[in-house]
Structure 1
Amino acid sequence: MFINRKTELDLLKQCYRSNRAELFVLYGRRRVGKTELLHAFCADKPHIFFIATLSSDSEQLATFSQQVYGFTHAETPSGFTFPSWEAAFQALVDLPMQPKPIVILDEFTYLISGNKAIPSIVQKVWDEKLKNTQVMLVLCGSYIGMMEAEVLSYQAPLYGRRTASTLLQPMDLASSALFFPSYTTDEKFIAWAIIGGMPYYLRTFQDSQDVFANIRQHILDAQRGTLFNEPRFLLMEELREPRNYFSILRSIAQGRTRLSEITQGAGIGNVTTVARYLDILQQLRLITRRVPATETQPEKSKKGIYQIDDHFLRFWFRYVHPNQSSLDLGLADAILQQRIKPDLDHFIALAFEEAAITFTSQLAQAGELNFLPERIGGWWNRDAEIDVLAFNLSEKLALVGECKWTVHPVGVKVLDNLKQKAEILIKNHKIKQVKFALFSRNGFTAELEDRSKDEGIRLFTVDSLVSCL
């Protein structure tokens, strides 16, 4: 089942339709769906789909050579290989160019790990021959830092050769919900809040059983759970000294968000040491440093807090990693009932705020905010915290929002509290005009709905966020 990715597919198709050679760079985290996207793109087109492995450089060359040779020959001699990578890439010039052939080098970073000269070889052959053909060469990799350093950076041999590139992001809420047609809107949101937008994780959950049954079967089962060790394998492959990173991620998942708090919770050195680890985690797109939306120099702000981006990593480090010993003993049911169920709404509340911020951005893109925001995010200081803030610094206009992931309908008290917090924001930043929005899991009281009509308060439910309407 291939869902969405329309924007990325359209970009690939646009490049394919060009009358020139194309060097397309696709990169992104493991499990984000890069390979599936490329399979969907090239399924009905002439292509070579080479997936690099951790085998030796000579074995990689032999495998690639046989695929290239086999593209134009009915039979490939046993043991055939080009004498060098340069010769193998030069052979691409002899491929039939009508229709345009696609050559995909998946897991390109594995090739680089086995042979550091690969980017320079590709650059040489591209400059001398391939750029004058009709070939579409796609370089795809999962190590974001290596792809940026070895392929995209100014110092990289291939700098300036790519004709297009995409950092593939996890699927958004609306797309993720499509994996669960039998779930209610509430269940779709809960599933996304737990496993996020990674297609591999989304395919693992089944909407033939409820969310808790999926958690029990696929995440908490130490023997058979498909996702039980997934973050461990992911991080051990990506990182040196994974133990220290585990401690940091667990500290953040447990609610420590400031540098000093994370350092104390992780117990692995001083703030300078932890700051270096946090910087690497940010480069890997695993965590984000957030600052209030009103900050004019975010990188210098002392109000920064850290947050795990990936929902499943957030869930795993909050509930699985701290309970590893109990889960190994087969106590998954107890962990589910005593540790997860009582705390899950609190956990999901953060994802609800994230979804509301994203939804507000979508409203802005659709021109439905009545002003042009320069920044959208959250806001906080020592006296107050606002979940959603869309802010125009120069015109001093704002929309402020409150999110409530509760089983009860939101009432007027929530609106009054939001207005009190907005007064602090208005005073601190001299805002001229403020609009209000409320985001609720389970709707609104009749009294609040009446006031919203009179005062122009915008009301949104989880259905609005999931459907993007």
Structure 2
Amino acid sequence: MKTIIGRELEKKILREVIESDNAELVVIYGRRRVGKTFLIREFFEKELVFEFSGQYDVKTKIQLQNFTNKLDQSTKSAFPSSLPSNWTEALNRLKTYLNPILDKKKAVVFFDEFPCIDSPKSDFLSSFDYFWNDWASKKDNLKVIICGSAASWMIRKVIQNKGGLHNRITKKIRLLPFTLKETEKYLQSKNITLDRFQILQLYMAFGGVPHYLKEVKKGESTNQTIDNVCFKKEGLLFGEFDSLFRSLFKNHETHVQLIRELSKKNSGLTRNELLQKMSIKSGGTASLVIEELEESGFVTGYIPFGKNKKDFVYKLTDEYCLFYLKFIENNKGKQSWVFMQNAQSWKSWAGFSFESICQKHIREIKKALGISGIYAEESSWRFRGDEKEEGSQIDLLIDRKDGCINICEMKFSEFEFVIDKKYAADIAHKISTFKEVTKTKKTVFFTAVSTHGFKNNEYKLRWVQSEITMNDLFA
């Protein structure tokens, strides 16, 4: 078995599955390329007795032929089997193959890209429903894993199924991209020795998507890697954007339109703002598109401080999509990444990207602050101001149940960040405005989050109560 990097919680769940004395029906979902198939194949290497993957956008007859071919491989049949007339017959053949195996040992059956198998008018889902309830659920040695990249489909059609699969799921896993720590471990496993600042910049372009990180070559700098993978026509991420959404969602044009609108607004957009910009009616279509992008990990919804759910702000938080729309799409190989990285647009964008990555590593930030055991809610806060009063914005604050609030300022810099007189005044204004507008009675701590730390001077001593560096995000 190959080494599985990170995924500690997921491995714990899968260990419980194989050790269970009951039949198990496990759902695993997450964005494309995140490593779902690798995790299942490697973890259940010894127990996996049958695997079938749905093919995107093909007719039922082809799916059935692919299934039959896989079953023939598993049974080591000397002659090709006839094509089953429907999915009920196909799954009955699977039962015949599994019965003698299950009499002797625990076994795993893996249906990959499950949503693709359920092609229009195929009746696959109803057949699978009957397969599970009538037979599979009674086989204590059987562990069935169903997996899909179309996360919203998996939730609506399987996890929240109102028919025969209702409440039948025994375990579910939402597989997310690697954290910074897991990314570092993955690169180390390939004997790639980039320092953490280089890894952070790589993460800004690739995110923690294992399939993208496989493109990093030993001995190359982050700049070389980004140039080769993103800006050369043969590079994996040069044309990944369109195929990514086309393979995940029907009518994917609406999803892409929403992604594009969010990419223009770093601070995010409310639902109403999104509807206005996209010229689509409020209701089912908008809700479904937003839900699908959220569950697939491209978009994240936040409740601003002091607001409620109706004030949700949505942000585009997928690193590759942000990077593609900002730098790759309009460049298309015209300029090298080394040249573009020296432009002011990169420096401004890197600051925003670092903020987004910090928001994904709240657990690590809380650990560094020593408040892991304290219940806290993370949010953003904005005061628009008016003609008489200057506005203010906080991109991350941690509202704690122990009577304190951390106002976090996140700064991306090649060197130590220096608080000068002007920035010190901005900090003072931000804190005083927040206290005055929110009327909070809690103690407010100013927390500096940066790549290489804040340089010691009189302003740092005056304002910074706690400091977090890039290394803490890798903890």
TM category (shorter chain) comes to 0.7 to 0.9
Of residues 298, 304, 316 in structure 2, which corresponds to 1:308? 316
Q: 1:34 deviation in Å?
A: 0.7
Q: Structure 1 CA distance, aligned partners of 2:372 and 2:130?
A: 52
Q: Structure 2 CA distance, aligned partners of 1:101 and 1:377?
A: 44
Q: Structure 1 CA distance, aligned partners of 2:458 and 2:220?
A: 35
Equivalence for 1:424: 433
SS at match of 2:28: strand
Q: Structure 2 CA distance, aligned partners of 1:177 and 1:458?
A: 25
Relative to structure 1, is the Cα distance of residues 363 and 227 closer, same or farther in structure 2, using a 3 angstrom cutoff? closer
Equivalence for 1:45: 47
Q: Structure 2 CA distance, aligned partners of 1:192 and 1:82?
A: 46
Worse overlay, 404-413 or 164-173: 404-413
Equivalence for 2:61: 58
SS at match of 1:113: coil
Of residues 266, 269, 276 in structure 2, which corresponds to 1:258? 269
Relative to structure 1, is the Cα distance of residues 86 and 215 closer, same or farther in structure 2, using a 3 angstrom cutoff? closer
Report sequence identity in percent. Answer: 19
Of residues 129, 133, 139 in structure 2, which corresponds to 1:127? 133
Of residues 353, 356, 377 in structure 2, which corresponds to 1:354? 356
Equivalence for 1:12: 14
Assess if the C-alpha contact under 8 Å between 1:374 and 1:391 holds in 2: yes
SS at match of 2:448: strand
Q: 1:445 deviation in Å?
A: 1.9
5+ residue gaps, structure 2, are 385-390
1:170 is the counterpart of 2:172: no
Equivalence for 1:191: 202
Assess if the C-alpha contact under 8 Å between 2:51 and 2:110 holds in 1: yes
SS at match of 2:31: coil
Q: 1:94 deviation in Å?
A: 0.9
Q: 1:366 deviation in Å?
A: 8.3
Q: Which amino acid aligns with 1:316?
A: Y
Assess if the C-alpha contact under 8 Å between 2:151 and 2:296 holds in 1: yes
Assess if the C-alpha contact under 8 Å between 1:51 and 1:107 holds in 2: yes
Q: 1:183 deviation in Å?
A: 1.0
Q: Deviations over 1:306-363 (max 9, x none)?
A: 3212100111011222x1xx52xx5233x76257743223222223223333444345
Assess if the C-alpha contact under 8 Å between 2:28 and 2:36 holds in 1: yes
Relative to structure 1, is the Cα distance of residues 431 and 206 closer, same or farther in structure 2, using a 3 angstrom cutoff? farther
Relative to structure 1, is the Cα distance of residues 160 and 88 closer, same or farther in structure 2, using a 3 angstrom cutoff? farther
- Matching of residues 59-78 of structure 1 within 5 Å: 59-68=62-71, 70-71=73-74, 73-78=75-80
Equivalence for 1:158: 165
Q: Structure 2 CA distance, aligned partners of 1:376 and 1:434?
A: 14
1:294 is the counterpart of 2:301: no
SS at match of 2:109: strand
Equivalence for 2:387: none
Q: Structure 2 CA distance, aligned partners of 1:258 and 1:46?
A: 45
SS at match of 1:204: coil
Of residues 219, 226, 230 in structure 2, which corresponds to 1:219? 230
Q: Which amino acid aligns with 1:252?
A: L
5+ residue gaps, structure 1, are none
Q: Structure 1 CA distance, aligned partners of 2:246 and 2:91?
A: 33
Relative to structure 1, is the Cα distance of residues 406 and 263 closer, same or farther in structure 2, using a 3 angstrom cutoff? farther
Q: Structure 1 CA distance, aligned partners of 2:351 and 2:143?
A: 44
- Matching of residues 384-395 of structure 1 within 5 Å: 384-392=392-400
Q: Structure 1 CA distance, aligned partners of 2:25 and 2:163?
A: 15
Q: 1:279 deviation in Å?
A: 5.5
Assess if the C-alpha contact under 8 Å between 1:179 and 1:203 holds in 2: no
Worse overlay, 229-238 or 14-23: 229-238
Equivalence for 2:149: 142
Equivalence for 1:201: 212
Q: Which amino acid aligns with 2:60?
A: D
Q: Which amino acid aligns with 1:9?
A: K
Equivalence for 1:400: 407
Q: Structure 2 CA distance, aligned partners of 1:371 and 1:235?
A: 39
Relative to structure 1, is the Cα distance of residues 23 and 76 closer, same or farther in structure 2, using a 3 angstrom cutoff? farther
Worse overlay, 9-18 or 45-54: 45-54
SS at match of 1:44: coil
Q: Structure 1 CA distance, aligned partners of 2:408 and 2:238?
A: 36
1:104 is the counterpart of 2:110: yes
Q: 1:18 deviation in Å?
A: 0.7
SS at match of 1:35: helix
Worse overlay, 202-211 or 227-236: 202-211
Q: Deviations over 1:277-303 (max 9, x none)?
A: 5555335432223332332x1x212xx
Equivalence for 1:229: 239
